[in-house]
Amino acid sequence: MTHDARFMIKTIKYSELLIMLDMLPNYIEHHLKYPESLIGKIFGVFTAKREGMEPVYMALMENTVQLKQPKMLRYKFDLKGSTFDRKTKGVVTSKTDRKDLDWLELKKKTKLLRISPINKHINHILRRDVDFLKKRGLIDYSFLIAIEYSTEKFKPQKEIEKRIRAGILRRSASKSLHHTFADKNEMIKQIEVLKHDNMALLKRQSVQ
C-alpha cells in the first residue's frame, strides 16, 4: 500500500496473469466506455525475478477502499452474492471484512443505502460490470463496501439526483485511462504489442 492509500501491489498467480493479458483489450475498452465502472483499476503487471527463485508476478492496482477520514471508518463489507458460510466469526471491529449475512442483518436494523437515486445508479453500474465479467467466464469476485462517519452535511435528495445526472459521482481515477488512450485504434495497437511482448517473455521462462 502506498503512503497515501491510493495504490496497492498484489501478488498474482501465473494463471491470473494469462487471464489479464487475454482480457486486456476488452478490460480497457470497458473502462473507457463506462468511466464509472466499479471494476478495480489495474495500472500495471510486473514480474520480479531473482536467481535461484521462481518468478513473482505482481499487479499494481488502485486501492478500492479510499476513505476521506480513515479514523472514521465504521463498517467494511466483502460481498460475494451468496449466503452460504458468509457470516463473520470471532472478534469484529470496524476494520473487519464483514460478509453477506452481516450486510443483510445491518440493512434490517438501519437505513443503510435506502436513498433510491443512489441505489438505482449503483445497481445500473453493477449490472454492466457483472455482464462484462460473465462474458469472460469470471465468477470469483467481490463487491467491496466501506462506510465511514461523515462530518459533511447530508445533501437533500434533489441535490443527489442532480449530482448523479451530472456525473459528479463518477470515480475520478478512471479519467486517467481517457488521457492515456484518447484514440481507440492506438489503444488496440499498444495492447497487442504489450500482449506479444509479455507472451514471448512467458514462453521463454517456461522453457527455462
Could you tell me if 23 and 41 lie in one domain? yes
Instruction: Give the per-residue pLDDT at 141.
Output: 83
Q: Tell me the pLDDT tens digit for each residue of 80-110.
A: 988 999 999 999 998 899 999 999 988 888 7
Task: Tell if the pTM clears 0.95, that is, is over it.
Answer: no
Q: Which amino acid is at 111?
A: K
Other CB atoms within a 10 A radius of the CB of residue 37 amount to 21
Distances (CA, A) of 5 to 1, 43, 160: 6, 15, 27
Could you tell me if 145 and 74 lie in one domain? yes
CA–CA gap between residue 178 and residue 28 (Å, rounded): 10
The parent domain of residue 113 ranges over 65-152
- Tell me phi and psi for residue 75, to 5 degrees: -140, 150
How many domains, in total, are found in the chain? 2
Q: Tell me the pLDDT tens digit for each residue of 155-195.
A: 555 555 554 444 444 433 334 344 444 455 555 565 565 55
Rg (CA), the chain: 20
Could you tell me if 75 and 124 lie in one domain? yes
CATH number at residue 22: 3.30.800.10
Mean pLDDT of 131-141: 88
Domain assignment present for 175 = no
Other CB atoms within a 10 A radius of the CB of residue 98 amount to 20
